[in-house]
Structure 1
Amino acid sequence: MRAAVVREYGEPLVIEERDRPTPTPDGVVVEVAACGICRSDWHAWQGHGDWVDDRVPRGQVLGHEPAGTVVEVGDDVATVAVGDRVAVPFCLGDGTCSYCLSGRGNVCPNGVGLGFDSDAPGAFAEYVAVPAADYNLVSLPPDVSATAMAALGCRYVTAYHALEHRARLGAGEWVAVHGCGGVGLSAVQVGRALGARVVAVDVREAPLSRAAELGADATVDASSEGDTADAVRAATDGGAHVAMDALGSVPTARDALDGLRRAGRYLQVGLTGGEERGEMPLPTDAIAGRELSVLGVRGMPPTRYDEVLSLVAGGRLDPGALVSREVSLGEVPERLAAMTDFETVGVEVVTEF
Structure 2
Amino acid sequence: MQALIIESFQQPPSIQTFPDPTSPQDGVVIEVKATGLCRSDWHGWMGHDSDIRLPHVPGHEFSGVIREVGKAVKNWKVGDRVTVPFVCACGICPTCHSGNQQICEDQFQPGFTHWGSFAEYVAVHRAETNLVRLPDEMSFETAASLGCRFATSFRGIVSQGKVSGGQWVAVHGCGGVGLSAIMIASALGATVIAVDISEEKLALAKAAGASFLINGKTSEDIPSTIIELTKGGAQVSVDALGSKITCYNSIASLRKRGKHIQIGLMAGNESNPPIPMHLVIAKELEILGSHGMQAHAYPEMMQLILEGKIAPEKLIGRRISLEQAVESLIAMDTFQENGMVMIDRF
Q: SS where residue 129 of structure 1 aligns?
A: strand
Letter in structure 1 aligned against 2:136: P
Q: Distance in 2 between matches of 1:138 and 1:236?
A: 39
- The equivalent of 1:7 in structure 2 is 7
TM-score by length of 1: 0.96
- The equivalent of 1:283 in structure 2 is 276
2:60 counterpart of 1:64: yes
- The alpha-carbon deviation at position 305 of structure 1 amounts to 0.9
Query: Which of 107, 123, 130 in structure 1 is aligned with 2:124?
Result: 130
- The alpha-carbon deviation at position 110 of structure 1 amounts to 0.7
Percent of pairs with identical residues: 41
Query: Which of 201, 220, 223 in structure 2 is aligned with 1:207?
Result: 201
Query: Which of 221, 245, 252 in structure 2 is aligned with 1:258?
Result: 252
TM-score by length of 2: 0.98
Q: What is the root-mean-square deviation in Å for CA atoms of aligned residues? A: 1.1
- The equivalent of 2:326 in structure 1 is 333
- The alpha-carbon deviation at position 55 of structure 1 amounts to 4.8
Q: SS where residue 349 of structure 1 aligns?
A: strand
- The equivalent of 2:160 in structure 1 is 166
Query: Which of 242, 245, 262 in structure 2 is aligned with 1:248?
Result: 242
Query: 8 Å contact 1:338–1:344 — kept in the other structure?
Result: no
Letter in structure 2 aligned against 1:46: M
Letter in structure 2 aligned against 1:116: F
Q: Distance in 2 between matches of 1:130 and 1:199?
A: 38
Query: 8 Å contact 1:218–1:235 — kept in the other structure?
Result: no
Which structure 1 residue ranges, 4+ long, deviate > 6 Å from structure 2? none
Letter in structure 2 aligned against 1:302: A
- The equivalent of 1:346 in structure 2 is 339
For residues 1-353 of structure 1, the aligned pairs below 5 Å read 1-49=1-49, 54-117=50-113, 120-276=114-270, 278-353=271-346
- The alpha-carbon deviation at position 274 of structure 1 amounts to 2.6
Gapped runs of 5+ residues in structure 2? none
- The alpha-carbon deviation at position 273 of structure 1 amounts to 3.5
Residues 172-223 of structure 1, C-alpha deviations (whole Å, 9 max, x = no match): 1111110111011000101012221111111111110000011101111011
Letter in structure 2 aligned against 1:237: K
Letter in structure 2 aligned against 1:168: K
Query: 8 Å contact 1:47–1:55 — kept in the other structure?
Result: no
Gapped runs of 5+ residues in structure 1? none
Q: SS where residue 335 of structure 1 aligns?
A: helix
